[in-house]
Structure 1
Amino acid sequence: MKFFRFDKEVGFPIKQYDSQAAHFMKVCRNQQENSIGFIQLDAGGEVGYHQATVEQLYIVVQGEGWVTGTDRERISIKSGEGVMWDKGEWHESGSKSGMLALVVESETIDTSLLQEK
């Protein structure tokens, strides 16, 4: 399990188009088919313990909660942070107060542009 940052300090200022106070945080660049979606966890919600079928990048965009890896140790995660699970890695996630996460799934995810936490 690897953790990444997605706050503006690791992004690039957007200076084109008369932009102001805007930053771009690259998520990934892929050469093959992928799936991108959101997971909304209500207060007390959980996504149960399961194996990742492909590499999975989980980016919290709102709220806070917890994630686990194979060891099932709960690690806090909040808006602006992300975690990636490798194919076959057991994991789960949940939140006491609610959390919205952007999920990118692909056979390979190039995280070389991301800054580890």
Structure 2
Amino acid sequence: MVSGEGYVSIDQEEYYKVQPGDAVFWEKDEWHETKSDIGLTAIVIQSKELNPADFMPFK
């Protein structure tokens, strides 16, 4: 996310708030939804080579 705020879902029942600085990863062919009341700007990258775990710190 670059600006704004909104919500994402993969099941149409539970939504997660997203804001600038957040990254969201979906599996190939996974249904998903993004919505916002005030608008949002995001950068979308599709890649067969991208491994999300490479970008996520261990907690």
TM-score for the superposition, normalised by structure 1? 0.44
Aligned to 2:33: 92
1:111 aligns with 2:40: no
CA RMSD of aligned residues (A): 1.7
Percent identity of equivalent pairs: 37
Q: Indicate the structure with greater helix content.
A: 2
Number of matched pairs: 57
- 4+ runs of 1 displaced by more than 3 Å? none
Q: Give SS of 1:109's match.
A: coil
Using the alignment, how far apart are the partners of 1:108 and 1:92 within structure 2? 23
- Please list, as runs of the form range in 1=range in 2, the aligned pairs for 1:1-40 lying within 5 A after superposition: none
The higher radius of gyration belongs to 1
* Equivalent residue letter for 2:7: W
Q: Alignment partner of 1:86: what SS?
A: coil
Pick one of 66, 86, 90 that aligns with 2:7: 66
> Please, which runs of 5 or more residues in structure 1 have no aligned partner?
1-59
2:55 alignment partner AA: L
Q: 1:102 aligns with which of 40, 43, 52?
A: 43
Consecutive unaligned residues in structure 2, runs of 5 or more:
none
**Matching residue of 2:23:** 82
Q: Quote the offset at 1:110 in angstroms.
A: 2.1
